[in-house]
Structure formats: structure tokens, C-alpha cells
Amino acid sequence: QQQVKQSPQSLIVQKGGISIINCAYENTAFDYFPWYQQFPGKGPALLIAIRPDVSEKKEGRFTISFNKSAKQFSLHIMDSQPGDSATYFCAATRTSGSRLTFGEGTQLTVNP
């Protein structure tokens, strides 16, 4: 009930393309869904987050889409750049709690 499933495990995109990473959760008590970006040798850094009362949130080139009934959410990176090459993690938690349950991670490579 605490799992978050993330796909794909790895993704290769051409510069300027759209990167799409999907996540699904089981625990309906989750009500806060952040995405983290991690570069080699660094800790994860918060990219963007969404609550289930909205279906979409956009910040610059990054957009989260949320489907509450399907218990799925996804990250779209528009106009992907080589500098976006990193590992991306979705996560889920409760606003009343604090522990983050992470997905398995997606290694994104953007070719120039």
C-alpha cells in the first residue's frame, strides 16, 4: 500500500524533444506528490510538486499531470536540454506526515 511505481527506468530523448515519466501510487491517503531531480554526486533536489485538488501544474518547461481516479501522475519536460540529463524521482507523501515514498527513479539522457 505504500509503493510508488515509476516508469520507464531509463529514457533517451533528443534535444528539443519531450520527456515523459510516469508514476502510479496505491495509498489513497497520499495527498502531496513531488518530483525530484538528482545529478551524480548530489542529493535529490525538489523540481515541482502537486496536490490532488488540481489536475495539472506547470513551472517553466516542467509540467505535472495528475489523474486522481487512476492514481497516476506524470512529469513532462518540454524542450528537453542536455542539462536536464539526470535521474528523476517521483514521490508521494501525506501533508499531515513527513516521510517521502519514492519511485524507483528514471535516468534521463538528453542527446545534443
Q: How far is the CB of 48 from another protein (least distance, A)?
A: 12
Smallest separation, CB 89 to another protein (Å): 6
State which residue, 47 or 80, has the beta carbon closest to another protein: 47
Taking the CB of residue 1, how many other CB atoms lie within 10 A of it? Answer: 9
3-state helix, strand, coil in the chain (%, to 5): 5, 55, 45
Instruction: Give the interface with another protein as residue ranges (CB under 8 A).
Output: 32, 34, 36, 41-46, 49, 89, 93, 95-105
Cβ proximity to another protein: between 11 and 100 the closer is 100
Residue 91 CB, nearest approach to another protein (Å): 8
- Taking alpha carbons only, the member of 26, 24, 27, 21 closest to residue 9 is 21
Chain centre to alpha carbon of residue 60: 15
